[in-house]
Amino acid sequence: MKNNDRQESKVEFDVNNVGVPNGRYFGMPFDNKECPVVLISVPWDTTVSYSEGAAQGPDAIINASIQVDLYDEKIQDSDKLKIGTDETKIDLGDGEKLLADDYIKLMNIASREKAKKIIDKLSDGKKLTASLIKMQKEVNESSEGLNYLVEQICNSYYKLKKIPGVVGGEHSVAFGAIKAAAANLKRGEKLGILQFDAHADLRESYEGFEYSHASVMYNVVNKINNICSLTQVGIRDFCVEEHNIIKKYSNKKSLSEKFQISSFTDSLISEREFKGENWDTICKDIIKSLPKNVYISFDIDGLEPSLCPNTGTPVPGGLSFAKALYLLRKVAENRNIVGFDLNEVAPAKDGADEWDANVGARLLHKMALLSVVSQK
């Protein structure tokens, strides 16, 4: 069942029984007004540069999520958490309305077709023609429109005192969600970003796309107010330009008025462990780099590739599921999680292997659960 098949369940929700496919995350049939956290599907992969498929991530996760057991042995009443699924509708005129995620799918089809022509030309080592330069501008404009739409949807849930969780799609979709999170803080408060990723995503642009999946964090730190820090965990694939940005904003002794980057690269984590430090000690250092309010941006390729083999740009190394979950738990115990996203989950192209979506669904539930726990 796909998102556009979303419907009221005729079967009473039973957390101990088989999930009922109703087009909603985890098969939960609850009204969003009852839910402290609402998940927002953003099926967008316009700027992916290596392997497509992230736009199918939200639907794949919804389909896989109905067989996830929702009990967490460490959290009391964890199976009672009500998780909503966004039902924002876009007015197309003449009284016709379309669910936001279906509208985004249509946007993505048109933009991806243009972006692919540009990427293919550049991959051949050729210069862009005037028509392709025009298309490049149109893709950037579409990306801006997507960012604005995501921001407004997230804003609507912050106004209702909900925690929005964005489900991509490529990592670029995090921009609008983070902008909304920063804008909805109390006066004088700052936001820190905790980024799980194989890549730094700090390029100013990539392949001429200003809002590329490879430049999302550059845009976040340069275009959003109230961001005081970026903490990266697991990165292991980045260019010298990105490394220079990391060095420029690192080595601050404590959080202050000035922006800082704390990068716990995969190689540095491994080196500390090889020398005898344990993961708990490293997690404490990660948490020290974060302010009170934290937004979690989780690119699935931050995990070991065995957990997400079909993601767009897999890289050897990365965190185990257990390590990622342990860090998330520690963040929830010590900080206030105001929003989150999960991106770059892509199902197998033959549709036969739901492993990526299976892992993504479980990770998504933990993020939703721990975000609520962090605010109590």
Residue span of the structural domain in which 263 resides: 3-374
The pair of three-digit structure tokens given for residue 329, joined into one six-digit string: 């738990």
The pTM of this model reads 0.94
Under DSSP, is residue 20 helix (H, G, I), strand (E, B) or coil?
coil
* N residues, the chain: 376
Predicted pLDDT of residue 9 = 52
**How many folded domains does the chain comprise?**
1
Task: Encode the chain (376 residues) as per-residue pLDDT tens digits.
Answer: 344 456 655 557 888 887 888 999 999 999 999 999 999 999 999 988 877 889 999 999 999 999 999 999 999 999 999 999 999 999 988 889 999 999 999 999 999 999 999 988 888 888 889 999 999 999 999 999 999 999 999 999 999 999 999 999 999 999 999 999 999 999 999 999 999 999 999 999 888 888 999 999 999 999 999 999 999 999 999 999 999 999 989 865 544 447 899 999 999 999 999 999 999 999 999 999 999 999 999 999 999 999 999 999 999 999 999 999 999 999 999 999 999 999 999 998 876 668 999 999 999 999 999 999 999 8
CATH number of the domain residue 146 falls in: 3.40.800.10
Output the pLDDT for position 63. 94
Alpha carbons 57 and 53: distance in angstroms, whole number? 7
Alpha helices in the chain (DSSP H): 57-65, 100-123, 130-159, 174-183, 216-223, 240-248, 266-274, 279-288, 321-334, 355-374
pLDDT at 321: 98
Q: How far is CA 8 from CA 20, 29, 59, in A?
A: 10, 6, 17
